[in-house]
Chains A and B, each alone.
Chain A
Amino acid sequence: MVITLNGDRFELEEPMSVNALLAKLEIDPRRVAVEHNLEIIKRHRFPEVVVNDGDSVEIVNFVGGG
């Protein structure tokens, strides 16, 4: 299956939770915010929200800025 991850095409073997996706990407869930199909997912819902084929996911964090 294919999702759109941070604007780019990204292949996944099967649907998985946001938590599982972050683990697969080696991203610390405490440091990021996640948007799933334009809806912001609260951190406590990371284990229950499932990313399916064709979904769009944005993962953001803080970087230097003014």
Chain B
Amino acid sequence: MTDTPFVIAGRTFRSRLIVGTGKYPSHTVMAQAHEASGADMVTVAVRRVNISDRSRESLLDYIDTARIFILPNTAGCYTADEAIRTARLGREAGLSNWVKLEVIGDERTLFPDNEALLDATRVLVKEGFVVLPYTNDDPIACRKLEDAGAAAVMPLGAPIGSGLGIQNVNNIRIIREFSRVPVIVDAGVGTASDAALAMELGADGVLMNTAIAGADHPVAMAEAMKHAVIAGRLAYLAGRIPRKMYATASSPVDGIIGPARATAGQP
């Protein structure tokens, strides 16, 4: 079955799976997991260089930037101003004008502050950024972000790193219905079926970090996620059957051999 290409802001991606670069046991395992995932976009964080200890290898040494597009995030920012500043620094460090925009509203849930997120989106869009905002699973918030010029909307499935899977299936479906920009389910995926479900609901892509990096075998999980996203997308395109309360037989009802009966001539 042919699919439409996955395009964000005019750039086409081969994979609908976007993966992170955080929390892997090592850079080597991360690189292997990236390879296994098939992803051609990965997220990175922007942080102060450690002045006293620069012995650690650079993350970028382990990312094949010829094949993989780097998406800087503004993780850890709690105000629009911090997020804007971080986005600008990320642009300088990475030489691309794309940003995964996060403005966090609460430490325990890491839920987005949608008001500040909207403010930051407006400013960065005006500055020419391609803004991919991490947002609540709220169709109205997503609509406002799209109207503000977001290149995609990235509703959460569940809190970041929680692995709870998609908590509000109907909202993701409604967001897909409302949006004219790509919808990427970002955060909350725990295992392959969660990613498949996101795609079955019509999401254009899925972004995850912890589900792969935190698995016992990150490389194997990355491969599982690759297949889950492909399977979920195909199932969405194929059009699932409606849900029904009662059974409908799959095998013909005609010609059934039937129960054994006493026949003539037998004792």
Pull 10 A–B residue pairs with CB atoms less than 8 Å apart, ordered by A.
Answer: A33-B91, A43-B92, A60-B46, A61-B47, A63-B59, A64-B24, A64-B30, A64-B59, A65-B45, A66-B43
Asked whether B51 is an interface residue with its Cβ less than 8 Å from the other chain, the reply is yes
Min C-beta distance of A8 to chain B, whole Å = 7
A interface, CB within 8 angstroms of B: 5-8, 10, 25-28, 31-35, 40, 42-43, 58-66
Q: How many residues of B contact A (CB 8 A)?
A: 38
- CB–CB B89/A58 < 8 A: yes
**Residues of B close to A28: CB separation below 8 A:** 58
- Tell which of A31, A40, A59 touches B48, judged by Cβ atoms closer than 8 Å: A59
Q: Is the interface of B mostly helix, strand, loop or mixed?
A: mixed
The chain B residue sitting closest to A34, CB to CB, is B92
- Tell which of B43, B48, B58 touches A7, judged by Cβ atoms closer than 8 Å: B48
**Residues of A close to B139: CB separation below 8 A:** none
**B49-74 interface bits toward A, Cβ cutoff 8 Å, 1 = contact, 0 = none:** 10100100011100000000010110
| Complex: A63 Cα to B30 Cα, angstroms | 12
- CB–CB A62/B51 < 8 A: no
Asked whether B210 is an interface residue with its Cβ less than 8 Å from the other chain, the reply is yes
- CB–CB A62/B54 < 8 A: no
B interface, CB within 8 angstroms of A: 20-24, 30, 43-49, 51, 54, 58-60, 70, 72-73, 75, 85, 88-94, 160-161, 187, 207-210, 213
**Residues of B close to A35: CB separation below 8 A:** 85, 89
**Residues of B close to A66: CB separation below 8 A:** 20-23, 43, 45, 73, 75, 160-161, 187, 207-210, 213
**Residues of A close to B208: CB separation below 8 A:** 66
- Tell which of A7, A8, A40, A59 touches B88, judged by Cβ atoms closer than 8 Å: A40
- CB–CB A60/B43 < 8 A: no
- CB–CB B93/A65 < 8 A: no
The chain B residue sitting closest to A41, CB to CB, is B92
The chain B residue sitting closest to A5, CB to CB, is B51
Min C-beta distance of A59 to chain B, whole Å = 5
